[in-house]
Chains A and B, each alone.
Chain A
Amino acid sequence: MRKLYAIFLSLLLLLTYCSQPKQQPGQVSVRLASEPHTLNPANYNDMAAMQILNLVFQSLLGPDLEDAQLKPILAKSLPLIEQKDSVTYITYEIREEARWTDGSPVTSDDVAFTLKVLKAPLLQNEQIKPQVAFIQDLVIDKDNNRKFTFVCNRFTPEMELLSGDFFILPAYLFDPEDLLASIPVAALTDSLSKLENNENLKAFAARFNTPDYNNNGKILQGSAGYLLQEWVPGQSIVLTRKENWWGNNTSASNLTANPSRIVLHVIPENTTALLALKARQLDVLSDIPALEFDELKTNKDFLEDFNLHTPDSYALVYAGINSRLAKFADKKTRQAIAHLIDVPNIIKVTQQSYAVPSVGIVPPSVKEYYNTGLKPYTYNTGAAAQLLQQAGWQQRTNGWFRTANGKEEQLTITVTYKAGSTMLETTALIFQASAAKINIPVQVEAQESSLFSKNSRNHSFEIFFRTLTGNPFNFNFEPILHTSFAETGGTNYTGFGNAKTDALIEAINHATDKGQKAKLLKDFQKVMLEEATFLTLYYQKERLAINKRFSNTKVSGLKPNYDISAFLLQK
């Protein structure tokens, strides 16, 4: 018996001795909360994949996290945009030093090939395809094989962003037999059924729709500074820096590949990730729970090795009221509800004060457009009761009642949110408690994510809480707030809008002058606040920790909140 214990104890000691993995200096270890489904640059659909693909492939344009500005990456400069009638021409030129892994230059033919891959039928490209549907054709400059023009349908302000937003793929590697060369880009725009029997396309599909194009580092090679070295499913993804990468010789500060090796560990559970960070097994951790973040702030041992950052994010939490319902059709009822949302306490409890209340949809951190002259609704049950009375509701001992079309109805509210989010659940519970103070019964319902999005799409909800991610460069509110998106299935879930607001949204989109745009946006915030259909509660602050070994981390409110490729080891 004693022997057994002795063996057990010595084994334990041995294990302990060998168990601590050591960090290498030139390596950055990052946590992924969920594994990417695929790394196919034509079919990825999650943040994790986007973060990794940005290290392997390059797009024409991209935001620089340092100053949140859209900057050229593969392109030499920002594009030239011309509008002629209902057609927009966007002209780019690729940097002449840009090279693929094998040393060959990146040319317009690669861009044409990329468009074909993204637009063709039969291929695994459904996730990215809708984003490039507006590009009708590509015209290659006859004198310069790095210059080309996108021919696009109509004009929207985000076209500049979108036309440079997709990853450019190497034709030599993806299609060595030139199967797609015979198909013109324009042929992929209209009716696609003819092409479904094209032998070349079928042959390419047989090659492209294989696992190799989803996870194989030998195929997935782009023009950026890193190579996908290894992907251990469910565990980690390893990237290594290219030798003599072309980007090192450019002067652009947003083209970087500094760490020699990047390891992304898949760790789903927050607690585990936090422990790994404390054990120095991770160099970077974002999305730290607010309470834990507060705890880290006071942990001296931890602060010796890590810097904590709280950049203003572009993610907002909002309450959407379904204004199509008869009981919420009156503006005053909606305003009353707005007075029942206790935003300061919600921020305190769910974000531990790492959030900024906002009057509307424009982030307070974008100072030139934010309307500082407005005051958000305050939590005030008296004001709410008054507004309800003005809207025709009568208070009785058991609730609020109103007679409409000869039928008496009680004011009841069902609040829904996506199941699994503690933050939204807490928000809903606080709202329930506030509404109970003036006798409005609120039912709180968590809905499984696909059911929740289906209900939002079909407009079968009363009030929901959800999050929305914006950005600092584009303020086109058409998809979420214009009435042309309000039909069933459209993305204007709340039914916000009338002719006046529609005109305002269109004017914002067409404003070219910054001052005019600011004025229009401020007006729009005022109207939105008054309508009280889409109630912005607050903009979140990101919470992340980065090891002090690194400088030039480019911490930003834009996802993924830091640029690993820029990390420099501090001497």
Chain B
Amino acid sequence: MRAFISDIAYLLRTKWSFRLAIVYLALLTGLVLLLPLLPLPFSPNELNLQHAFQKPFTNPTYILGTDQLGRDVLSNLLWGARNGLFIAVPVMLLSAVLGTAVGAVAGYFGNSKWKLTYAQVLLILVTIPIVCYYLIHLPMQVVLYSLPGKVAGMAIVAGLALSAILWLIIKPLLNNLMRLRQTIAIPVDGIALRLIELLTSIPRLILLISVAAFAGPSLWLLSVILICTFWTGTARLARAEMLRIVQLPYIEAAISTGMKHRRVILKEALPNLLTPVIVAFVFGVASLLAVESTLSFLGIGLPATHASWGRTISSIRLNLSAWWLVALPGGFLALTVLALQTCSYHLIRLSQQK
């Protein structure tokens, strides 16, 4: 981590484009965080029906113009940036962490290095249906039929108690049986790959439409689905890199000296993964910002009361000559992506030079 900070300091001193990008991103972050405190003349949802489709730079009240409902484009841009980044960054961060973890573990252990005893496998197989029934199915039924909350509570307690009994009492008993103490290799890589295939084979569109059918557009559900579908990209890249890294002589040496797997992964292999993960992260944030506007285009995005770049862009469909509704948010989007891109480019270059 310390090396990373000194890298950044070095880049700041030597590369002007990196400095520019960092300054822009810092300004944007500050702006986005402090936005509720700023004295903007209009809120993003304030309508002014007398001044719809005002061109930018002609009206001093609406510097950047208005859309079809007379909403101020400037405040929509800023709030759109806030809402967009508040979704994209946490979602991509979680996806990247999840993806790197799965990819690194899968790539490192392959199909033969991770071993469990028969007893552990048996217990895992029993625990899964218990968790599904008591911790997922029952609470969902309670929400669905609006039953008293204590039912859900009881179910969760029962589920946890059953799992505890299994792992704390039954497991030691099982370990006494000779046959169950034999170990079996878990094909981590295979499982991870199948899981990725399963997730990527369902088009995201179907998932989104079905969720919209359940609960209407909502920020939380949208984020969950995006995380669930975005981590696979990072995972595949991380796995591919890990497959290469594990073959490197110094990792092989580390393993042969008896270093623990966990240590090898965290200390030796992960720093090498940084480059592809950063590239994936940067492109992920950028594509998330674009995905959000595409969803608005198809009518299944964020709720209509949420300011977003996508919402502003999609109003072009009502008036093809209102160029500023595409150009301004589009330009803002491009600029943000460009800054992110520049940062990652320099970081990649630096890590490659070492």
Contacts and interface: CB of A to CB of B under 8 A. Distances in A.
A–B: direct contact at CB < 8 Å: yes
A271 B304 contact: no
A426 B213 contact: no
A444 interface: yes
Interface in A34-83: none
A536 to B, nearest CB: 21
B49 A348 contact: yes
Interface string A191-206: 0000000000000000
A351 to B, nearest CB: 12
For chain B, what secondary structure do more than half of its interface residues adopt (helix, strand, loop), or is it mixed? loop
Nearest to A443: B305
B68 A426 contact: yes
Nearest to B50: A345
B174 interface: no
A345 B303 CA distance: 23
Interface in A436-478: 443-448, 450-451
B126 to A, nearest CB: 37
Nearest to A428: B304
A509 interface: no
Contacts of B317: 270-271, 289, 422
B52, B299, B300, most chain A CB atoms within 10 A: B299
Contact of B52 (A295, A349, A419, A450): A349
Interface string A240-271: 00000000000000000000000000000011
B212 interface: yes
B191 to A, nearest CB: 34
Contacts of B304: 425, 428-429, 444, 446
B47 interface: yes
Nearest to B213: A448
A57 to B, nearest CB: 34
Contacts of A368: none
Interface string A311-350: 0000000000000000000000000000000100100110
Nearest to A442: B305
B67 to A, nearest CB: 10
A291 interface: yes
Contact of B318 (A289, A419, A420): A289
Contact of A419 (B46, B69, B217, B305): B217
Contact of B49 (A349, A445, A450): A349
A271 B320 contact: yes
A428 B304 CA distance: 10
Interface string B209-240: 10011101100000000000000000000000
B319 interface: yes
9 contacts: A289-B318, A349-B68, A429-B47, A445-B303, A446-B303, A447-B216, A448-B216, A448-B300, A451-B216
Interface of B: 45-47, 49, 52, 68-69, 209, 212-214, 216-217, 299-300, 303-305, 317-321
